[in-house]
Amino acid sequence: MKKFLLLLLPLLLLVSCHDDPEPSGPLPVITWVMSSGRFRIQTGESIQLVPDIENLDETSAYVWTFEGRVVGHDNYYTFTTDSAGEYYVKLAVNNRFGQVEDEVKITVTEAENQELPEIPEIAEWQYPWTEINIAQGRTIKVRAYMTGSEEASTVFTAQAEGRHVVTLTNPRDGSQQEMVINVCPPAGAHRRSSEGQAMVNRVYEYMPAPGHQVNGYIITGKPYPDNCTHEQACDSVLAHFSRKWSVSLGAQGGYLIAGFDHSVPNSGGYDLCIKGNPFSYQSEPGIIWVSQDDNGDGLPNDQWFELAGSEYGTDNHSMEYAITYYRPEKAKSAVGWRDANNDTGYIPYMSYWNPSAYYWQPWQVGISEMTFFGSRLRDRSTYENGISDIPPYDWGYADNLGDLIDGPAGKMGYYKISNARTWDGRPADLEYIDFVKVQTAQTGATPNLGEISTEVYYISDYHLE
């Protein structure tokens, strides 16, 4: 019996060796550090493809293939071409358990904006308003803008109810402009119930600045027809909000104004919900403004207050900013701009996104230039090796990754009326608001993503969600 066991043991070992499966374990996992939206360059540019690989080991190797040819073995690959088209680059990575492959598409478009239009000088005054309503007891800065540092301004304190006229004198030529201020009853005189529908019930103004998503291009729904009126555009924006569809505000200064069917109370906590579409590589912050219906006419023609965000009062934040855009004479051309600091720049024309002849709204017939007023956040966008990065700010801005919270209205930005500030930076102490304005806050642009332009999907009362 003992001899039998000894003879049998080698046989069992031999069978065991042949029946054991091959060693198994996790294969490499390829993740691209850029989103698919970034695999887009213009002719003559280069893009660096950088994969993030999990489960590598000492046997791992990279094999890059383009058009059937092996083109590299590094942990990255730089692609460039002078010809427009769609190209595919394949990566194979192995470890001791096997090999995986992944393929990326790179869209290459013809280089554009080679001939940039001239940017005119601004010689005339610019006014954010010439008539406004303000509650008794408040103050407001009355100001006119001009290219460069010159300005004319004064501070008005609303003491007696009624119509008041402030006259500003142009320091260059002595010309004058009358600014009408209607002093209304003290704040709260026209406060409405705090009950109603959660979402804003009316869009009063939709005035996007030029940009590649504001004429002839739209993510969802239909583009505006050539004969679209401003009223129809506002109705379309509200319809988009009801579906949580995107609306672009265009470049710096572009804005929309919406209102509620009730007064939204200041709780000291979150009061407003605003949905955008920020990403880790692309936040396009918009500054939020709020207003009360001081004269009770149901229209947003009253004093505005900026909601302070994380950058308020820092070097990243500029108040009392103005920027003017000029409609180009040549079709399919970049849009030039000049601001109140006498800085200039361009909104690039990008046929890949929007092949329309002009990035100008259909209802802006006969308007050759547009000026927007508000505050500005410093542009921190970068572009290198075909990769754009537009980082978020910490908090307080629409379409900003730093504000994303899982809340009653879903994952979006939530904001506090208690952060409202007066023109001189003091807390506004508003007990409620009736209107909201969201405005693109940066002037930057990158070659593959275009201008920084705040997107808005939804605005509502936090308390009624």
pLDDT in tens, 132-183: 999 999 999 999 887 655 678 999 999 999 999 999 988 878 889 999 999 9
* pLDDT confidence of residue 351: 85
206 close to 258: Cβ distance less than 8 angstroms:
no
* pLDDT confidence of residue 85: 92
112-126, 248-262, 316-330: least confidently modelled range? 112-126
* pLDDT confidence of residue 5: 35
* Residue bearing the bigger pLDDT, 123 or 51: 51
85-107 mean pLDDT: 94
3-state SS assignment for residue 367: coil
Q: Is 361 exposed, middle or buried (0-12, 13-18, 19+ CB in 10 A)?
A: buried
* pLDDT confidence of residue 11: 38
Other beta carbons within 10 angstroms of residue 77's beta carbon come to: 20
* pLDDT confidence of residue 21: 56
Which of the four pLDDT bands, split at 50, 70 and 90, describes residue 17?
very low
* pLDDT confidence of residue 38: 61
* pLDDT confidence of residue 6: 35
Which of the four pLDDT bands, split at 50, 70 and 90, describes residue 323?
very high
383-391 mean pLDDT: 85
- The 3-class SS string of the chain reads CHHHHHHHHHHHHHHHHHHCCCCCCCCCEEEECCCHHHCEEECCCEEEECEEEECCCCCCCEEEEECCEEEECCCCEEEECCCCEEEEEEEEEEECCEEEEEEEEEEEECCCCCCCCCCCCCCCCECCCCEEEEECCCEEEEEEECCCCCEEEEEEECCCCEEEEEEEECCCCCCEEEEEEEEECCCCCCCCCCCCCCECCEEEEEECCCCCCCCCCCCCCCCCCCCCCHHHHHHHHHHHHHHCCCEECCCCCCEEEEEEEEEEECCCCCCEEEECCCECCECCCEEEEEECCCCCCCCCCECEEEECCCCCCCCCEEEEEEEEEECCCCCCCCEEEEECCCCEEEECCCCCCCCCCCCCCCCCCCCCEEEEEEEEECCCCEEECCEEEECCCCCCCECCHHHEEEECCEEEEEECHHHEECCCCCECCCCEEEEEEEEECCCCEECCCEECCCEECEEEEHHHC
pLDDT digits (tens, 9 = 90+) for 38-48: 688 888 888 88
Q: pLDDT exceeding 90 applies to what percent of the chain?
A: 70
* Among 203, 187, 189, 200, CA closest to 264: 200
Q: How far, in Å, are 60, 61, 117, 413, 452 from residue 346 at the CA level?
A: 46, 44, 9, 30, 12
* pLDDT confidence of residue 147: 62
Which of the four pLDDT bands, split at 50, 70 and 90, describes residue 4?
very low
* Residue bearing the bigger pLDDT, 111 or 85: 85
pLDDT digits (tens, 9 = 90+) for 265-287: 999 999 999 999 998 888 999 99
Place of tokens 């109705």: 235
49-78 mean pLDDT: 94
* Residue bearing the bigger pLDDT, 2 or 291: 291
Which of the four pLDDT bands, split at 50, 70 and 90, describes residue 239?
very high
Which of the four pLDDT bands, split at 50, 70 and 90, describes residue 218?
low
Which of the four pLDDT bands, split at 50, 70 and 90, describes residue 36?
very low
278-300 mean pLDDT: 95
| pTM, full prediction | 0.84
Place of tokens 């109603």: 196
Place of tokens 């004479």: 329
371-375 mean pLDDT: 95
CB contact burial 10-29 (16+ within 10 A = b; e otherwise): eeeeeeeeeeeeeeeeeebe
* Residue bearing the bigger pLDDT, 123 or 125: 125
84 close to 110: Cβ distance less than 8 angstroms:
yes
